Amino acid sequence: MASFRSRIVDRILRILTARPLDPNADPRLVREKLNRLALRFTGKTPGIRVEKIDIDGLPAEWLTPHTPNHAGTLLYLHGGGYIVCSPDTHRPMVATLARQANTRALVVDYRLAPEHSFPAGIEDALKAWRWLLAQGIPPESITVAGDSAGGGLTLALLLSLRDEGGPLPAGAALLSPWTDLTMSGWSHVTHRKRDPMLSTEGALLASHHYLAGASPADPLASPFFARFEGLPPLFIHVGGNEILLDDSLRVAEKARAADVDVEIKVWSGLPHVFQAFHFLPESRASLSLIAAFLKRRMTENMPTRRAAD
């Protein structure tokens, strides 16, 4: 059963999303408003050093805990429907993961639609991955994580790396991933009134901006339609009230059928990416479990010589 605080958040979200969707709204204006709002509340990250960097024209930031002997490197891809959000909006949540996993986190400010449509996001994720390898970081000490659209992008990155035949990360965590832009999941129907945050209409509008005419069934846009053989271990957390619930359940089912090590947890009564609400007990519990998975994956395969350094 959802906590009292989670039920209060559910009420507030329903009030905030009650206004009818404006199909003509400019995502760029919404994005700017969200980023300005985020900067008012994400300026301080206790125990974390924030360093803005440039990866050959791709903005990103390092979040580094103020502790020695970091476990490895986390590549984080933020959510926002491929049209909004940034490292600024996600800094508190990713900082929590970095602290608890004792890992450096590279948060990528990948290009967004409508200015940059599919496949700009996956191109930027690949650029960040290749840059990490070029820094001499062993792939077996790198994990990848993402929420919502960033979760789908994380899965698309794994698929691209597998198909290239190159090295893969040690594992990936997906938080309420958006993995099917065709919206074919049955939870779009069954959870239409249960979801306090998302609507299928809103998801369709975001996918319209992002795809710009590309097929929503392209496996790099909708990883659900891909083959999952050969992927590294997956760790999935999803809210039980989401219209995107089936985006997680069906991915987990396909991963198991492909002999991929996958663990999924459905948080009953919780909304989309509830981990972003740091004051919820379920958020703290979920992030703790995700951080433990990331740390375990980054340290299990570390070369012996690094452990001895």
Whole-structure pTM value: 0.95
pLDDT band at 148 (very low <50, low <70, confident <90, very high): very high
The kind and range of the H/E element at 239 are strand 234-239
Q: Nearest-5° angle of CA 256, CA 269, CA 173?
A: 40
Please, what's the b/e burial string for 3-32 (b: 16 or more CB within 10 A of its CB; e: otherwise)?
Answer: eeebeebbeebeeeeeeeeeeeeebeeebe
Can you read off the two tokens belonging to residue 156?
């698309």
Can you read off the two tokens belonging to residue 224?
């659900």
Say which of 187, 209, 272, 282 is annotated catalytic.
Answer: 272
309 has pLDDT over 50: no
Task: Please name the residues in contact with 218: beta carbons below 8 A apart, sequence gap of 6 or more.
Answer: 118, 225
In whole angstroms, give the CA distance from residue 90 to residue 69. 24
Residue with tokens 């059928």: 257
Instruction: Examine the residue annotation and report whether 283 is marked as an active-site residue of this protein.
Output: no
pLDDT band at 1 (very low <50, low <70, confident <90, very high): confident
In whole angstroms, give the CA distance from residue 188 to residue 141. 37
Looking at residue 46, its pLDDT comes to 87
The pLDDT tens digits for 63-73 are: 999 998 898 99
To the nearest whole number, what is the mean pLDDT of the chain? Answer: 94
Find the CATH number of the domain harbouring 43. Answer: 3.40.50.1820
Instruction: Examine the residue annotation and report whether 78 is marked as an active-site residue of this protein.
Output: no
Structural domain including 202 reads 4-308
In whole angstroms, give the CA distance from residue 58 to residue 228. 28
Say which of 6, 117, 141, 148 is annotated catalytic.
Answer: 148
Q: Nearest-5° angle of CA 81, CA 213, CA 223?
A: 50
The pLDDT tens digits for 106-124 are: 999 999 999 999 999 999 9
> What's the total number of domains in the chain?
1
Instruction: Examine the residue annotation and report whether 187 is marked as an active-site residue of this protein.
Output: no
Looking at residue 304, its pLDDT comes to 47
Task: Please name the residues in contact with 77: beta carbons below 8 A apart, sequence gap of 6 or more.
Answer: 108, 110, 121, 125, 144, 145, 146, 150, 151, 153, 154, 157
pLDDT band at 42 (very low <50, low <70, confident <90, very high): low
The pLDDT tens digits for 278-293 are: 999 999 999 999 999 9
Say which of 61, 140, 242, 282 is annotated catalytic.
Answer: 242
